[in-house]
């Protein structure tokens, strides 16, 4: 006789696992700032104290250098060049993803009164969609503007 093992998670166990994963991911973000700070140590040391504090918190401000932004937010997903009346500009874009929900009707087999029947039900599917979540504009190596963009509506 073969014994079968079956494990079912309680709500508390699922919550504990979720909290552990969140702590791990949050810790990884902090480690990333620390890693980039060590990578660009000379540039970080040259920053004014106020900017170092902002960079350590993952925040940026107008007037910061490209190195400071890199340390705070990491490598951009895309770098664009542009020229306007004020001269050349460099635009860093950071991308994100969101899950677009699609609802559709479908069928499943089920038993009713001992007979196999098709039952109609509403199903959901989720597709990852990319979007630009932040843009930073530099002129002469300094931040002149930045903005966070909302994820698209479903």
3-state helix, strand, coil in the chain (%, to 5): 35, 45, 25
Domain ranges of the chain: 11-148
Confirm if 123 and 105 have CB atoms less than 8 A apart: yes
pLDDT band at 92 (very low <50, low <70, confident <90, very high): very high
Paired tokens of 35: 């890693």
Instruction: Name the average pLDDT for the chain.
Output: 86
Q: Which of 2-11, 86-95, 103-112 has the lowest mean pLDDT?
A: 2-11
Q: What does the pLDDT look like over 39-77, one tens digit per residue?
A: 999 999 999 999 999 999 999 999 999 999 999 999 999
Q: How far is CA 142 from CA 1, 60, 89, 102, in A?
A: 72, 11, 10, 42
Residues 77 and 136: their CA atoms lie apart, in Å, by 12
How far, in Å, are 109, 117, 118 from residue 112 at the CA level? 10, 7, 10
Nearest to 36 by CA among 79, 61, 66: 66
Q: Give the span between the Cα atoms of 73 and 33, in whole angstroms.
A: 8
The model carries a pTM of: 0.67
Percentage of the chain modeled with pLDDT above 70: 79
Quick one: pLDDT band at residue 152, thresholds 50, 70, 90?
confident
């Amino acid at each position: 006789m073969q014994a079968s093992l079956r494990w079912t998670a309680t709500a508390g166990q699922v919550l504990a696992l979720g909290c552990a994963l969140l702590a791990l991911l949050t810790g990884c973000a902090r480690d990333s700032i620390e890693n980039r700070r060590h990578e660009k140590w000379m540039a970080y040391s040259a920053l004014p104290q106020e900017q170092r504090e902002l960079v350590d918190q993952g925040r940026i401000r107008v007037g910061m250098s490209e190195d400071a932004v890199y340390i705070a937010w990491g490598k951009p997903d895309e770098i664009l060049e542009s020229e306007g009346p004020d001269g050349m500009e460099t635009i860093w874009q950071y991308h994100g993803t969101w899950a677009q929900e699609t609802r559709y009707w479908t069928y499943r087999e089920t038993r009713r009164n001992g007979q196999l029947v098709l039952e109609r039900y509403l199903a959901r599917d989720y597709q990852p969609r990319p979007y630009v979540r932040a843009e930073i504009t530099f002129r002469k190596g300094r931040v002149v503007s930045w903005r966070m963009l909302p994820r698209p509506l479903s």
